[in-house]
Amino acid sequence: MARLRRRIPWVLAAFSFLWSLLGWRVWYWQSGVAPLVRAVHQHALTLPLQTRGWIRDRHGVPLTDPQPAWGVALFPAHFRTGVAGAGTAAEARLAAALGMPPARLSQMLRAAGASPTWLVRGLTAAEARRVADLGLPGVAVVDQPERYGPRALARHLVGYVNLNGGVQGLEAAFDAELKGSGGLHLAAYGTGRGAPLQGLGLRSVTVTPEKPPWDLYLTLDSRFQAVVEAALDAAAWGARAAVVVLEPHSGEVLALASRPQFDPRVGPPPGEGDGGQLINRALVAYPPGSVFKALVAAAALEEGLVTPDTVFDCPGHYTIGDQTFREPVPGGHGRITLAEALHRSCNIVFIHLGYQVLGRERLLAAARRFGLGAPTGIGLPEEEQGVLPELRWDGEVAMFAFGQGAFGATPLQVARAYAALATDGRLPPVRVVDRLTTPAGKTAEEFPRGAGQAAVSPEVARTMQAILQGVTQPGGVGTGQKAWVPGWGSAGKTGSAEAAGDVVHAWFVGWVPLYQPRYVIAVLVEEGGAGGEAAAPIFRAIAEGILALPDSGLTKGY
């Protein structure tokens, strides 16, 4: 105990010394080092570097096809100080390395004054090396990849950026997440009078790193997207068109394309009002025409009002009040079953089914159950919600029953509706954005999967799958035989939708393989005429291209 009492003063003395040392360090930092660091940063000239997260497919592949490129940054004060006495010669050497007239470089230097500036961007590796080899002070060659390349995919969905950030598509919808806040700057340190601070030189620094740029991962598969875009570009009818490929169980968008194409490297094309290159037609509402008939048939089957074998009479015309609707086939189809009416796409039978059997309220309810008239929820402002008519008059009910009138649905909405028919009758939640990740690859935000909702019973869905096979079956009477995929089969429905004047848009919506469907594909061709002629062959080309990809896990046979 006595020994312990003798040690206490030494222990207290040691603690007192340590606390004194700590206090001195705090004073030293506050009064000496910290102000010096702050002073250095206050006299740093900075130039923001291009830092923006990538938009990637489900496998991590950037969809924008980024290209390697370099930029040349100039800090005028450092350049002038470092080449004092030989300024004109240094300017001439720099201009020659850049392939720029010396007068032009001099003009840029005068315009910049004391502010850092980018002299040029988009240099190749060889061009950048010529500038770097000069070793000029105040001149920095910086790796700044071009965001968009010639093989950029899903351009209408991705959108594009300008100097202010995202302008359209996902680039705009997730602009804050993709560009972050603060970020990397190129900095040149100087004295209070602007002279270069020896020993620091040019370096990259992080300024107010509140949140770094995040990457955006989509549900798209870049391989599928490339197949879709190649098929559209090769098609005789693909100049103004849209395609959506869905995984029917999850509702994940595997590909989404629109034509005509645009180049994100040059921004909005001239004559946008005439060409409509920036319009994402996959998210624009069109009259669905006869592709709506499958949903009408499913609704009537769900209500127990008909069976596939219920017989209807098609004399070639149908009169409601003073309005007469005529079948394109002269003389009509005669007595045919509901299944045959879908195969042949008989308007008269579906007027009877919609107007007399189902009626206004049940028709509208069916359209809503299949997700029409409401956005799918993919989070893009360009997405139209579609149009469901009020059906105030009997003639409007009749036209609605075969997909005409003041009625609009987007290719994405129609693909989703057919996903319910291709599976167990459940309307899946549509997903195109999967997650946001940090630069280190960690998930920063994940977008949840919805539960979906029942459109029809599994029994009705299976019945519709059997009926719609007859639309594409070779050697039959169906209107969609050009959508049949040899070795795999297919099922679906054609549509020829009348718009303003004599304009007729072509549709085909269906799935592959025939049994155990894996992919729902919706094809719309503006002013394409008959869906079986314009849209069905594009469906087949896309389906064959996707099914030929390696590692599909599928086996031919139906």
Instruction: Compute the average pLDDT of residues 453-466.
Output: 97
Instruction: Compute the average pLDDT of residues 130-134.
Output: 91
Rg (CA), the chain: 33
**pLDDT at residue number 128:** 92
Question: pTM for the whole thing?
Answer: 0.85
Instruction: Compute the average pLDDT of residues 87-114.
Output: 85
Cα–Cα distance between 184 and 439 in angstroms, integer?
13
**pLDDT at residue number 8:** 52
**pLDDT at residue number 527:** 94
Q: What is the DSSP letter of 282?
A: G
**pLDDT at residue number 408:** 96
CB atoms within 10 A of CB 240: 18
pLDDT surpasses 90 at 5: no
The answer for residues whose C-beta is within 8 angstroms of residue 199's C-beta and 6 or more apart is none
Which structure tokens are listed for 204?
Answer: 């990259």
What is the H or E stretch that residue 272 is in?
Answer: helix 272-275
**pLDDT at residue number 16:** 47
Instruction: Compute the average pLDDT of residues 172-176.
Output: 95
Q: Mind listing the domains of the chain with CATH numbers?
A: 68-144 (3.90.1310.10), 222-262+280-433+451-547 (3.40.710.10)
Cα–Cα distance between 400 and 361 in angstroms, integer?
12
pLDDT, tens digit, 9 for 90 and up, residues 10-62: 444 444 444 444 443 433 334 343 343 344 444 567 777 778 999 999 999 99
What is the dihedral angle through the alpha carbons of 73, 61, 375, 295, rounded to the nearest 10 degrees?
150
**pLDDT at residue number 363:** 97
Cα–Cα distance between 505 and 483 in angstroms, integer?
17
Q: CB of 411 within 8 A of CB of 242?
A: yes
Taking all residues of the chain, what is their mean pLDDT, rounded to a whole number? 86
Instruction: Compute the average pLDDT of residues 342-350.
Output: 97
Q: CB of 190 within 8 A of CB of 216?
A: no
Q: What is the DSSP letter of 88?
A: H
Q: State the SS3 of 25-87.
A: HHHHHHHHHHHHHHHHHHCEEEEECCCCCCEECCCCCECCCCECCEEEEECHHHHHHHCCCCH
Q: What phi and psi values does residue 522 have, to the nearest 5 degrees?
A: -110, 130
Cα–Cα distance between 57 and 131 in angstroms, integer?
36
**pLDDT at residue number 458:** 98
Cα–Cα distance between 424 and 463 in angstroms, integer?
11
pLDDT, tens digit, 9 for 90 and up, residues 480-502: 999 999 999 999 999 999 988 78
Q: CB of 466 within 8 A of CB of 478?
A: no
- Shortest CA distance to 105 belongs to which of 123, 122, 87? 87
Instruction: Compute the average pLDDT of residues 179-201.
Output: 62
- Shortest CA distance to 70 belongs to which of 96, 49, 54? 49
Which structure tokens are listed for 287?
Answer: 């009259």
Instruction: Compute the average pLDDT of residues 261-288.
Output: 82
**pLDDT at residue number 49:** 74
Residue at token pair 């005429």: 529
**pLDDT at residue number 198:** 54
Q: How confident is the model at residue 117 (pLDDT cuts 50, 70, 90)?
A: confident
Is the dihedral angle over the CA atoms 310, 313, 316, 317 positive or is it negative? negative
pLDDT surpasses 60 at 7: no
Q: Which carries the bigger pLDDT value, residue 163 or residue 86? A: 163
Q: Which carries the bigger pLDDT value, residue 143 or residue 338? A: 338
pLDDT, tens digit, 9 for 90 and up, residues 298-320: 999 999 999 999 999 999 999 99
- Shortest CA distance to 378 belongs to which of 260, 508, 253, 474? 253
pLDDT surpasses 50 at 340: yes
